[in-house]
Amino acid sequence: MRSRSKKWLTLTGAAIFAFTALGCKKKSDGAEAAVPQSQAAQASGKQPFPDDAPITDPGTPPPAAGNPLRGAKLFVDPESLAMLQANKIRRTDPAKAAILDRIAQQPQALWMGEWNSNIFRAVEHFVARAKADGAVPVMIAYNIPHRDCGQYSQGGMSSKEAYQRWIRNIAAGIGSDAAVVVLEPDALGHFQECLSEEQKAERMFLLNDAVRVLRQNPATAVYIDAGHARWVPVEEMAERLKAAGVEHAHGFALNTSNYVSTEENTEYGHKLSEAVGGARFVIDTSRNGAGPYEEAKTEEEKWCNPPGRKIGKPPTTETGDPLIDGYLWLKRPGESDGECNGGPKAGVFWLEMALSQAQ
């Protein structure tokens, strides 16, 4: 049974809240054109990857062992769209604000893509804020060439070299600090759907390269997105993960932006882990509290703003399962999947849906 995972950009900051409130602007209008450097970032000594620097092989990182998330405090972003919306209505409608707090006060991932005008600065700023809070940031790299087969979340970098430089700037922005990076939702799920043989080879090269670049920092935990339990059969996804370099990552991620239950993904994840030599995994529980929309009559209805969905298990690194490193909120609840089922543009905070999901 095929079911796609859908998501879009997650932007931060008061300026971005104003951007989404306008409703009709394109993502390229936006977003982090003037991300300030915090004092912590200014003192970090981090430097972006030079535009004219040669792209070299990063080498093989040391083996990933154990749960890198154990005991970590995950970063709660005070500039998330949910938090900004809750604060906006806190005086006029405290009851709704309290419901939104069920989303806003949880740690959630930052999505990184071509909407970041300066990816080095955006990552440096986000990591610095997390570090100042004594927390670990979770980020999602979503910018691989030919992203989403040209559909709702189409985009990505224009070339192999551009993507390699982009990933190296993410690594430079993290520096030696702690971070979690989930690599390229949909990249392996869509692998057989729209890519030429040359593009398939390029994608696997880039995923391998990204894993090894990011893992040069021992404090960066890296998970390759592997779809969800209802998308690609275990045997096929295992081969894709191996080709993508999962042996050098900390493991794989499941259910990014989707609604499949934690239980179903756990069963799938255990089988997939066994098929790739025991790799660990994380599960996105942000919107799977009610499971998938079984009444859907079309594929789109299953993933694009399906009604009646609920937030799932709160983010935690204490899962009780020796193979699951964390239940994470990778998709930020309340942000639209796209213009379907009455929703606004993808990534725009949709108050009515957020309230429904959190109640």
Catalytic positions? 148, 186, 337
Kindly state the DSSP code that residue 36 receives in the 8-state scheme. Answer: P
Q: How far apart, in whole angstroms, are the C-alpha atoms of residue 79 and residue 41?
A: 17
Tokens of 285: 């529980």
DSSP for 61-123 reads PPPP-S-TTTTPPBPP-TTSHHHHHHHHHTTT-HHHHHHHHHHHTS--PEEESTT-SSHHHHH
Q: Which helix (H) or strand (E) holds 141?
A: strand 138-141
Alpha helices in the chain (DSSP H): 14-22, 39-42, 81-89, 94-104, 119-132, 160-174, 197-214, 234-244, 262-275, 299-303, 351-358
| 246 Cβ neighbours under 8 A, 6+ residues apart | 211, 224, 252, 276, 279
Q: Which residues of 32-62 are buried (b: 16+ CB within 10 A; e: fewer)?
A: beebeebebbeebebebbeeeeeeeebeebe
| Cβ pair 305, 337 in contact under 8 A | yes
| 144 Cβ neighbours under 8 A, 6+ residues apart | 156, 157, 163, 184, 187, 203, 206, 207
